[in-house]
Chain A
């Protein structure tokens, strides 16, 4: 063979950070080829997708609004993914969290009191945690695969939402539209910049990033999570309680997703609607990998992924492209990232392996 893959003596630290950049560049190049095939001017499409959306103050505010749920969920998931706990049902936890927080707003729709908003946020966290507690219980008690259970529960959660907005929670004065009443002012997160939708939710997301970073880098829990992910045997010898960490990582990720759901309602939407999230819970999975399972990386990756949502909208409006392009971009980015990650552990060499070197290995 002319090119062969050779294991590095130890994983390359620089490649950990270079690989996402390679992935982004390859995604953009492939996207340009794709646009060319679709008969769209590739340069114009890329500008519409990645530059136009953030060339105004309002665009920039929208970027942060869209990044808020992605960053929140991403930070939560990064704990589980490090410990090999694969919660892929964040979309469902977001939905149940939103219903818990939003339900509270509806219950007090004509009582404006200052505590309403904090109570809603707490209810959102609790709702998301409760939904994530089901796969945690099933995994620790019955050894059930959390990937499948958390995903099945996502479908259940979306049906609960559909039931509520079409039934008991429908606005009684709303001409039969499947939407709830509008939340009152006390249930809405304060806006940070006038005339935009940028709200305090973004600051909460930044706070969670900071808390996540402290927990991961400076706390014994973060250390235990990393050990259990990298060397499960060592972790059990050290006496770390695996079941406790399964519970912990699922509750953290569920709580973050639930918080994201409530913030989405009380920051951006203002009522309960049939579709609360355009798949933030799934996109956050890409955010976690792109952000290298690190809270600060998740912040940057969340902003980039938020841009693909805005880009999809702007390409739909100005170029009449279907906004499904966003999903293709996101999937492609993750493919290229996973492929480039091979460079962390392996390097490519030209030519056949020398016998002497083989013997030495």
Chain B
């Protein structure tokens, strides 16, 4: 049997996993700080259109990624002001963020339907990129793929090895205790929320710049929600989230290759796979109630008010 399909398959897994990696690792930090932001989908889609619009009008991939991150961050800022300062319900505010993001992106994207962008440049090191199999996978990706791996490593290190990471975990586990020894719960949470927004924005930017370099309304297609599920699946651990994202990338590939291999199933049923897989994964991970509770940050979803 020929192995010709292997490299394209692995490359597809990487492109399908990368937006999930960005969004999930960002949301991991947010939830570690005790905040549940259900607006990941909204922040991703706004990142996608902001990045695409910038790419089309300036031609600069780097500027596009930065704009995508800034757009996600801007939406996260609204969420932060509402939940951290104005004590609004986190579930409802996150949903509002998603509805608003989907609407606003469609409004902005109106003029960008049908436009194209050549895609992000890929790394090309003479001698290395041409090595069979390993070459294109390790040395032939675009910058965002490397950034996604680096961000997982950085966040894992930050959360477990630094003082800042300890503070984030402290406000997530017990905000009253963190407050009483003099740390600003509001500032730490706000910072975590903004980081999560920027990461979701970059994840969205990857979709519209590299995954399919064009703009389609609702192009995130639930990936923000899958990223949220990945965070739970990974028990709030960055590296586990990374592998979870690649697992989902693998499921996406079944969808693309099953038909090529002559499997007689309607496209719609294959498209259901990532969503059904998410449900199954959630069932497996939440089955043991005591264990699930032990892993989750204790203050997740609870608002904090100093005088309260």
Interface residues of A (CB under 8 A from B): 5-7, 86, 88, 138, 142-145, 147-149, 151-153, 155-156, 159-160, 162-163, 166-167, 282-283, 285-286, 289, 322, 324-332, 334-335, 338-339, 341-342, 345-346, 361
CB-CB nearest in chain A for B225: A151
Cβ of B272 to closest chain A Cβ, rounded Å: 5
List chain B residues, Cβ under 8 A from A324.
Answer: 103-104, 106-107, 110, 217
> Would A285 and B282 be within 8 Å (CB), given that A156-B275, A159-B268, A325-B107 are in contact?
no
**A282–B275 Cα gap in the complex (Å)?**
18
Jot down 19 A-B pairs with beta carbons below 8 A, ordered by A.
A5-B85, A7-B308, A143-B286, A145-B286, A147-B91, A148-B228, A148-B232, A148-B279, A148-B282, A153-B275, A155-B221, A156-B272, A167-B266, A283-B99, A328-B104, A330-B100, A338-B88, A339-B82, A346-B87
Given contacts A324-B104, A331-B103, A342-B86, 18 further A-B contacts (CB under 8 A): A143-B287, A143-B292, A145-B232, A145-B286, A147-B38, A147-B91, A148-B282, A152-B229, A156-B275, A285-B95, A286-B96, A322-B110, A327-B100, A332-B100, A335-B78, A341-B88, A342-B87, A346-B87
Q: Which of A138, A151, A152, A334 contacts B96 (CB 8 A)?
A: A334
> Would A331 and B96 be within 8 Å (CB), given that A143-B289, A156-B275 are in contact?
yes
Cross-chain contact A334 with B99 (CB below 8 angstroms): yes
List chain B residues, Cβ under 8 A from A325.
Answer: 103, 107
| Interface pairs A-B: 8 shortest CB-CB | A327-B103, A331-B100, A324-B106, A163-B268, A334-B96, A338-B88, A328-B103, A322-B110
B101 within 8 A of A: yes
Cβ of B115 to closest chain A Cβ, rounded Å: 15
B102 within 8 A of A: yes
List chain A residues, Cβ under 8 A from B99.
Answer: 282-283, 285-286, 327, 330-331, 334
Q: Mark B184-226, 1 if CB is under 8 A from A, else 0.
A: 0000000000000000000000000000000001000110011
Q: Mark B289-308, 1 if CB is under 8 A from A, else 0.
A: 10010000000000001011
B271 within 8 A of A: yes
Main secondary structure of the interface of B (DSSP, over half): helix
Cross-chain contact A330 with B103 (CB below 8 angstroms): yes
CB-CB nearest in chain A for B293: A143
List chain A residues, Cβ under 8 A from B279.
Answer: 138, 144, 148-149, 152-153
B283 within 8 A of A: yes
Cross-chain contact B82 with A335 (CB below 8 angstroms): yes
List chain A residues, Cβ under 8 A from B93.
Answer: 335, 338
> Would A142 and B283 be within 8 Å (CB), given that A6-B307, A151-B225 are in contact?
yes
Cβ of A305 to closest chain B Cβ, rounded Å: 11
Cβ of A193 to closest chain B Cβ, rounded Å: 32
**A330–B232 Cα gap in the complex (Å)?**
29
**A33–B107 Cα gap in the complex (Å)?**
15
List chain B residues, Cβ under 8 A from A283.
Answer: 99
B89 within 8 A of A: yes
CB-CB nearest in chain B for A338: B88
B138 within 8 A of A: no
**A249–B257 Cα gap in the complex (Å)?**
41
> Would A88 and B292 be within 8 Å (CB), given that A145-B282, A149-B279, A159-B268 are in contact?
no
Interface residues of B (CB under 8 A from A): 38, 78, 81-82, 85-89, 91-93, 95-97, 99-104, 106-107, 110, 217, 221-222, 225-226, 228-229, 232, 266, 268-269, 271-272, 275-276, 278-279, 282-283, 286-287, 289, 292, 305, 307-308
**A147–B78 Cα gap in the complex (Å)?**
22
List chain A residues, Cβ under 8 A from B87.
Answer: 342, 345-346
Q: Which of A142, A152, A163, A331 contacts B101 (CB 8 A)?
A: A331
List chain B residues, Cβ under 8 A from A339.
Answer: 81-82, 86, 88
**Residue among B38, B96, B225, B286 with max Cβ neighbours from chain A (10 Å):** B96
Cross-chain contact B100 with A334 (CB below 8 angstroms): yes
Q: Which of B100, B232, B283 contacts A138 (CB 8 A)?
A: B283
List chain B residues, Cβ under 8 A from A143.
Answer: 286-287, 289, 292
List chain B residues, Cβ under 8 A from A162.
Answer: 268
**A12–B140 Cα gap in the complex (Å)?**
61
Cross-chain contact B283 with A7 (CB below 8 angstroms): no
Cβ of A33 to closest chain B Cβ, rounded Å: 14
CB-CB nearest in chain A for B36: A147
List chain A residues, Cβ under 8 A from B89.
Answer: 338
Q: Which of B106, B217, B271, B278 contacts A152 (CB 8 A)?
A: B278
**A155–B271 Cα gap in the complex (Å)?**
9
**A152–B221 Cα gap in the complex (Å)?**
10
List chain A residues, Cβ under 8 A from B100.
Answer: 327-328, 330-332, 334-335
List chain A residues, Cβ under 8 A from B96.
Answer: 286, 331, 334-335, 338
List chain B residues, Cβ under 8 A from A160.
Answer: 268
**Residue among B81, B107, B226, B308 with max Cβ neighbours from chain A (10 Å):** B107
Cβ of A266 to closest chain B Cβ, rounded Å: 24
CB-CB nearest in chain B for A6: B307
> Would A156 and B92 be within 8 Å (CB), given that A6-B307, A339-B82 are in contact?
no
Cross-chain contact B278 with A322 (CB below 8 angstroms): no
List chain B residues, Cβ under 8 A from A144.
Answer: 279, 282-283, 286
**A236–B275 Cα gap in the complex (Å)?**
34
CB-CB nearest in chain B for A333: B96
**Residue among B81, B99, B100, B266 with max Cβ neighbours from chain A (10 Å):** B99
Cβ of A292 to closest chain B Cβ, rounded Å: 13
**A286–B283 Cα gap in the complex (Å)?**
28
List chain B residues, Cβ under 8 A from A86.
Answer: 91
**A148–B229 Cα gap in the complex (Å)?**
7
Cβ of B30 to closest chain A Cβ, rounded Å: 16
List chain A residues, Cβ under 8 A from B276.
Answer: 152, 156
List chain B residues, Cβ under 8 A from A6.
Answer: 307
> Would A142 and B287 be within 8 Å (CB), given that A148-B228, A328-B100 are in contact?
yes
Cross-chain contact B92 with A338 (CB below 8 angstroms): yes
**A6–B87 Cα gap in the complex (Å)?**
12
CB-CB nearest in chain B for A137: B283
List chain A residues, Cβ under 8 A from B95.
Answer: 88, 282, 285, 334
